[in-house]
Structure 1
Amino acid sequence: MRLNVWYLNYHCIAAVLELGLQRNVTTSSGISLLDQEMRTRVFWTIFTLDRTIATMMGRPIGLRDEACELRLPQDLDDHALVGEQDVDGYSAGNMALSIHLFKLSKINSEIKYVANSIVREVPSYAYPPISDIRAWQRSTLAQLDQWASTIPQTHPRHAYVRTLCELRYYSMRILLLRPSPAIPKPSIESLTECYGLSWRAIHVYDKLYRQDMLVHDWLVLHGIIFSTITALYCIRAVPQLAQKTELDELMNNLSLSLSLVSVAGEHWSGAKRSRQILDDMGKSTIKWMKTLRTTHNSELNHGAATNTGSHVPMNPNMSELTSPLGTNLGGMFPGLNSANAVSAATPSSLSLEDRFWADPPQQFDFGDITNVDDIMHSLFEEFVPQMNNIQD
C-alpha cells in the first residue's frame, strides 16, 4: 500500500474507538454471538498490533489498557459461532493460541508502562509508582515464564503459530532485560541472557526456513535483524562474555543470520543493504574480539573500563526499537553506503574463517555507538516510502 505502518496503526485504533470495540458489548444487549466474538477478536488484533509496533518503533502505545474493557474472546471455532458443526471434527482449540498471544500483549503493555517510563515522578492522577524496580522485573520475568509454560497444545497444523509464541517469548524477555529508562544499567547476567536468547531466536527462524515455514513479512525481517544487533551489542557490552565466547560459534551464528537476511532480500529489496551493514558490524566485532584476546590482562581490564561494559554507554532509549523513520546511517558508520550489495558467495572449500573474511569489513568503531535504536532506525529507513512517492 506504500503507507507508513505507524500511520495505518493509528487509523486502526481510531476505527476501534469509533465502533466502540473497546467496550464489552454482549449478547444480552441483543447482538448475536457472532457479532460479539468478532468485535472482541478485532479489538484484540488491533490491541496486539499496537503493542507490537510501539515496541518495534520505540514509541508510546496508542491505546492504553485502562481505556478498554479487556475481555478475551471465547475459545470457539468459527463454525460454532454460526451454529454449524466443525467440519474438521473439533470445535475447540482453534482460537487457543491467539488468545494466548493476546494475554502476552497485556504483559507487553506492563513493560511499556513501567520499564520505558522516562519520568519517574508519577503525577497524582496516575497509577502509583513501582517502588522496587528490580522486584518488578523479577515478577514480570516470572509472568513471562508462566505464560510460556502454558502455551496451548493444539492441532499439529498450528505448529507455526506455536513457534511464533516461542519467538514472542524470547523478544519479550529481551525487551525486559535490555537497558531501559527504569533500568539503564542491566546486570551482566541480564545482558548475557539477552545474548543467548538472541541467537536462540535466530536458530528458530532458521528451523522455520529449513521446514519451508518462514513467512517473509516485515515482522520476521525485523526480528532477525533485532536479534543479531542485540547479540552484537551484548558481546561488546560485557567483556567477560566476549572472552568466553568461541569465535567459531559466533561466526557460525552470524553466518546463519546473514543467510536469513539474504533470503529476505529476495522479498524486500532494502534487506540487501541491511545484510551488508550487519556483515560489517559482525566482522568488526570479530576483529575487536581477536584484539581483546591478544591484549595483556591489565590492558584488557583498562580497555573494559573505557570501551566496553560500561564500554558501550547505556542509553535509556535502547530498550525500545525505533521506527523506520531514521537518520542517515553513514553518519554513524563512515564508509558504508546504501548501494552496497549482498556479498558474493565464497567457495565452500575455504575454512569458516577464510570465508568469513573473504570480503574485508568496513572500518567503524562499534563502541562509539551510544544508542542501538539508531541502528535499527537506519536499517529500516528504506522500508518507509516518501510522501511524494505515494500515488493516490
Structure 2
Amino acid sequence: RRNRKVFAACQRCRYRKIRCDGSFPSCANCQKAGEPCLDPHREKRFLEGDYVVSLEQKVRSLEAIIANRCPDIDLAAIASVRQQVDSSNSVPPTTSPWAPSGHVQSDTELLTHVIALVSLNGSSEPKYLGPSSGFSFAKLLASPGLRLDQRIRDGDKPDAGARASAEYHAVPLPPFHEAAILAEAFFDEVQWQYPFLHKPSFLSSLREVYNDKGQSQAESSYAVGSDVANVYFQVFMVLAVGASTVSKTLSMAKDAGNYYVSAMQYSDGALYNVSLLTTQNHLLLAMHALFNPRSDTNIWFMNYLLMASCIDLGLHRDVGPRQDNLPKEAILKEEMRRRVFWSCYCLDRNVGTALGRSLGIRNEACDVPNWSPISCSIHLSRLAIIITDMKLHLYRISIPWPSDLHSWRDSTYRDLIEWKAATSLLSSGKASFFAHLEVSYYPAVMLLYRPSPRFPKLSMDTAHICSDSSIKVIEIFDSLQRLGKMQYSVLSVHSTLLSGLTMLYSAQICCKNDASEEMRRLPNDIKICSSILSTMAELGWAHAKRSLSVFNTIGRVTVR
C-alpha cells in the first residue's frame, strides 16, 4: 500500500532531501533532531509550527475571556459570517455575532455596519471608510453587478496632461501684485472656515519678504533660521493654496505645484518642532491637501499630526480668565491659540465624517472657549459640535445604543434648525458665505436621517427630509458653479456624490407611495448632479471621475 503523499515538506527536509511525514506542529525528522520545523509555504515566510500552536492557544484563551465577560456574543457564528462576507461582494442576511442572541439582522442592517478598505482614486493606497462616510449607505443602492470598492479602471484614470503637470520645481516669488492677489484668494476661500492665520500679521510679513533686499532668496534657502524658514514657508504655502482655489487652467495648477515645492525647501525649519507656529504650518499643508486636486499629501495623516500637536500644546484646554492690562502680543497669542484649536477641531470633524474615522478628541476633553473674530467660523464650529454628537449616537458600531434615540434625533433636528436661523442673522461677510453656510446645513440633516447603524431604514417622513436636503445641496452647488463661486475641494466632491446618492435612495422610498413633483423632476436633478461631478473631474479631481461613473450607473438603474 502506497504511503500518503506529502506536498508541503518542511524546510529542513527539503534542504536535506529526505522524506517528510508532514506532521504538525513538527514532523518526525525535526522532532528526532530537536530542530524547529519551518513551513516554507506560509505567505513566503518561514513559520515555526510551535508558533502557530501558540497562536491557536491564545485565540482559545481570548475566546474564553469573551465568553465569560460578553455572554451575548455568539462566537460560534463569527467564522461562518467571515466566510460569507469573503465569498461575496454583498453581505447576505445572517445572524450577526455582534448582536444580542435571538436578533437576526437583515441585509440593510448589515450593510449599514460595513467598514470598507477601498481605493479612492487610481493613484492612492486603499483607505478605511466607516459608516458616516456614506460607503455603507452607497452599497444599499449598488446593483449586484456594480462593485463600489474596485480600483479605478484604466479609462477612468487622470489624463496624461494632469500627470505631466505633476512634475513641479521650485520657483522664486512672483511679482508682489500677483502674490497679493493669491493671498487675498486664500483668505477669501479658506480663512472664513479655518481662521488659523492672522491676516494683518501675514500681510505684514509678506511685505517684509518683498522689501528685504539684503539677502537673495537663493541664499536664504540654505541654513536659514527657524523664523525666516517659517515666514518663507507660510508665504509660499499661502500662494500655493491661493493658486489652488483659483485654479481653472493647467498653467495656474502648475504654479500652485511649484509654490508648494518652493515651500518644502524650508520644511526642516518649519515642520519639525512642536509649537503654535508649526501647527499653523501643518494646517497649511492640510489646506493644500483639501483644495489642490493633485496634492499627494495624506489628509488623514495631517489630521493626526494636528490633533496630536493640539494635545501636546494644551490648545484644547482653557488657560483661565484673562488678566487685565495684558500686552497686545499676549492677547494676540491667546486669540491665535483658540483659533488654531478650533480650526483643527473642525478639520478633524469634517475629515473624520467624510472618511468614517473616529474622533481625534472628545468634546468632554475640550473646554477652550469657541471664539473668533470671524463670525462664519464660529457657526461652523458650533455645527461641528452637533455633528460630533451625531457620530457618537448614530454611527457607532458597538451596541447597545443610548436609549430613546428617536427623541434625541428630533431634538438634534431642532438644534440644526436653530443653527440655520442663527446663520441667517449674520450682518457681515460676502454673499457667497451664506450659500456655503447653507450647504453645510443640509449635509448635516442628511447625516442625521440617512440610513445608519442605528436606523438602517428610512421611513416615508425621513425619506422626504433626506430628499429635500439632498436636492437643496445639488441646487446650491449648481448655482455656485454657474456663477463661478464654487469652492472645489475633497469635501465638496464627497458632498456632491453623497447628496446624489441620498437623492436616489430617497426617491426609491418615496416613489412606492407617492408620485410627487420631486419624482417628476428626478431625471433633471440627476442630470444636474452628474454635470457638477463632470466639471469637478475636468478640473483634475481624480476621484470625481470615479464618483461620476458610480452615480450615473446607479442613476440609470433608479430611473428604470
TM-score, scaled relative to structure 1: 0.62
Per the alignment, in what secondary structure is the counterpart of residue 280 of structure 1? Answer: helix
Cα gap change, 1:115/1:2 in structure 2, threshold over 3 Å: closer, same or farther? Answer: same
Cα deviation 1:96-127 (Å, max 9, x = unaligned): 11101111111111111111223234xxxxxx
> 1:130 deviation in Å?
3.5
Are 1:8 and 2:281 counterparts? no
How much has 1:3 moved relative to structure 2? Answer: 2.4
2:338 aligned to which of 35, 40, 61: 40
Task: Specify which of 185, 190, 201 is matched with residue 457 of structure 2.
Answer: 185
TM-score by length of 2: 0.44
| Structure 1 unaligned spans of 5+ | 77-94, 122-128, 288-392
**Among 13, 17, 22, which residue is 2:316 paired with?**
22
Distance (whole Å) between structure 1 residues aligned to residue 546 and residue 394 of structure 2: 32
User: Is 1:54 equivalent to 2:333 in the alignment?
Assistant: no
Could you say if the C-alpha distance between residues 196 and 152 of structure 1 is closer, same or farther in structure 2, counting changes exceeding 3 Å? closer
Q: What's the CA shift string for 1:205-256, capped at 9, x where partnerless?
A: 0111122100121111111111001111222244436744666511111111
User: 1-side partners of 2:298 and 2:514: how far apart?
Assistant: 38
Aligned 8 A contact 1:21 1:43 in 2: yes
Classify 1:241/1:8 alpha carbon distance in 2 versus 1 (closer, same or farther; 3 Å): farther
1:273 matches 2:546: yes
Deviation at 1:265, TM superposition (A): 1.2
**2:534–2:548 CA contact under 8 A, matched in 1:** yes
Residue 307 of structure 2 contacts residue 360 of structure 2 at CA under 8 Å; is this kept in 1? yes
Q: CA deviation at 1:15?
A: 1.2
The 5 Å alignment of 1:1-392 reads: 1-25=295-319, 27-28=322-323, 32-74=330-372, 76=373, 95-121=374-400, 130-151=402-423, 153-154=425-426, 157-240=429-512, 243-244=515-516, 249-267=521-539, 268-287=541-560
Paired letter, 1:115: L
Question: CA-to-partner distance for each residue in 1:31-62, whole Å, 9 max, x for gaps?
Answer: 71111111101111111111111111112212
Q: How many residue pairs are counted as aligned between the two chains?
A: 261
Structure with higher RCO (Cα < 8 A, 6+ apart): 1
Contact 1:97 1:152 in 2 (8 A): no
**Counterparts in 2 of 1:270 and 1:115: CA distance versus 1, 3 Å:** closer
CA shift digits 1:331-387 (9 cap, x unpaired): xxxxxxxxxxxxxxxxxxxxxxxxxxxxxxxxxxxxxxxxxxxxxxxxxxxxxxxxx
- On the 8 A contact 1:51/1:109 being kept in 2, the answer is yes
The answer as to whether partners of 1:96 and 1:152 remain within 8 angstroms in 2 is no
CA distance in 2 between partners of 1:200 and 1:115 (Å) = 23
3-state SS of paired residue (1:184): coil
Q: What SS does the aligned partner of 1:28 have?
A: coil
The letter for the 2-side match of 1:38 is: M
1:236–1:242 contact (8 Å) kept in structure 2: no
Q: Give the letter aligned to residue 139 of structure 1.
A: S
Q: Which has the larger radius of gyration?
A: 2
Question: CA offset at residue 22 of structure 1?
Answer: 0.5
In structure 1, what is the equivalent of residue 282 of structure 2? Answer: none
CA distance in 1, matches of 2:518, 2:449: 23
Deviations 1:276-316 (A, max 9, x none): 332222111111xxxxxxxxxxxxxxxxxxxxxxxxxxxxx
The whole-number CA distance in structure 2 between the counterparts of 1:197 and 1:241 is 20
d(CA) in 1 for partners of 2:367, 2:417:
25
Q: Aligned residues: percent identity?
A: 31
Q: CA RMSD in A?
A: 2.2
